[in-house]
Amino acid sequence: MADVQIDQVRRFNRTVTERVGVLYDHYLGRDRPIGEARLLWEIGDQGQDVRRLRERLGLDSGYISRLLRSLEAAGLVTVEPQPRDRRVRTVRLTATGRAERAVLDDRSDELAGSMLEPLNSAQRVRLVEAMAEVDRLLTAGTVTLDVVDPDHHDARHCLQGYFTELQERFDTGFDPARSLLPDAGELRPPSGLFLVARLQGEPVGCAGLKLPAGTAAEIKRMWVAPRARGLGLARRFLAELEARAAQHGFDALRLDTNTALTAAIGLYRSFGFEEVAAFNDEPYAHHWFEKRITGTAAAAAADGDS
């Protein structure tokens, strides 16, 4: 990363924190800092599992406990263990907490309006569009990729979403029993690996890599949840799997796909895959692709898309 990029990010951070009032202990003119106000927004009308809330905001357990104790002392929330598992705590807004959140919502609307009001209509459009792009890119940067066992519950969750989508999109439907699904053992080291992408602790995508002896590495079951699309995650999966295949000494990477998946086909071609003759008997495949890889190129690709 260039120094000028770092300087611009820091300048942007300073401007935003000043403009939205993060520097003040009394956020939006209320008697609490922004951390407590944000918790009131995130808890919502239905309440939240404290652990899920911590993962959603990326906070450590000690800090979120202090915030919750302060809100509880002010009569804004209740924190109670679940009857079936007392280790799991649920936080809910009280009537006073809901009223306070409504005031914060009104004040937040006023703050947003104060940012837009001095601008002309064209400038407002530019600012809102730029904010949407910044939000998308910052969100993309929070996605994590982790190697998990194919039987992990997050892996199963993603695969179920993948199968459901194929059932809806394929003209013939999709029956996992007919497909050449890799055995779970083929996606465990040393035979392969399985990646799960998580956004704010929630699984939003998966991709498997087979590392068979004597032939090319193969990408299997790559999927991104609809809510995480537009974050560059599919390209990030490809770069990560290419880098890992190269690290294991493979010089070729291949995959198969269905003609209904037009966006995926375009992605593979843009990523350097070339269409080749069929290399398996997958009944749902219409196209087969392969890419020659090197360790240096794959590592560079992974760094550029991370």
Residue 109: CATH number of its domain? 1.10.10.10
β-strand pairing of 77-82 with 85-93: antiparallel
In a domain, 199, yes or no: yes
- Is there a domain that residue 60 lies in? yes
Order of strands, sheet of 287-292, starting from the edge strand that comes earlier in the sequence: 144-147, 192-199, 202-210, 217-224, 252-257, 287-292, 274-276
- Same domain membership, residue 156 and residue 266: yes
Say if residue 55 is in the same domain as residue 189.
Answer: no
Beta strands 252-257 and 217-224: pairing type? parallel
In this predicted structure, which of 80-89, 189-198, 263-272 has the lowest mean pLDDT? Answer: 80-89
152 plus 76 within the same structural domain: no
Residues 111 and 1 in one domain: yes
**Residue 181 binned pLDDT confidence (cut-offs 50, 70, 90):** confident
Question: Which residues contact residue 95 at a Cβ distance below 8 angstroms, ignoring those fewer than 6 apart?
Answer: none
pLDDT digits (tens, 9 = 90+) for 57-116: 888 889 999 999 999 999 999 999 887 777 789 999 999 999 999 999 999 999 999 999
Residue 299 lies inside a defined structural domain of this protein: no
If asked whether residues 113 and 174 sit together in one domain, one would say: no
Does 50 share its domain with 156? no
User: Which residues, in sequence order, are CB contacts of 36 under 8 Å at separation 6+?
Assistant: 27, 67, 70, 71
Residue 297 lies in a domain: no
In sequence order, the 6+-apart residues with CB closer than 8 A to the CB of 131 are none
Place of tokens 């890799």: 182
According to the model, what pLDDT value does residue 57 have?
Answer: 85
pLDDT tens digit sequence for 126-157: 999 999 999 999 999 999 999 999 999 999 99
Please give the average per-residue pLDDT across 280-296, as a whole number. 90
Under 8 Å between Cβ of 187 and 176: no
Q: Structurally, how many domains does the chain consist of?
A: 2
Residue 150, domain CATH: 3.40.630.30
Beta strands 144-147 and 192-199: pairing type? Answer: antiparallel
Six token digits for residue 271: 């990523």
Same domain, 162 and 98: no
In a domain, 303, yes or no: no
Q: Quick one: 79 and 184 in the same domain? A: no
70 and 7: one domain? yes
In a domain, 59, yes or no: yes
Pick the last residue of a domain from 85, 103, 118. Answer: 118
In a domain, 124, yes or no: no
pLDDT at 301 over 70: no
Q: Could you identify the residue written with the tokens 């890889």?
A: 293
136 domain-assigned: no
Which residues lie below 8 Å from residue 16, measured CB to CB, with a gap of 6+?
Answer: 22
> Does 249 share its domain with 156?
yes
The residue range of the domain holding 93 is 1-118
Mean pLDDT of 166-184: 91
Q: Are residues 86 and 45 in the same domain?
A: yes
Query: What pLDDT sits at residue 295?
Result: 57
The verdict on 177 and 286 lying in the same domain is yes
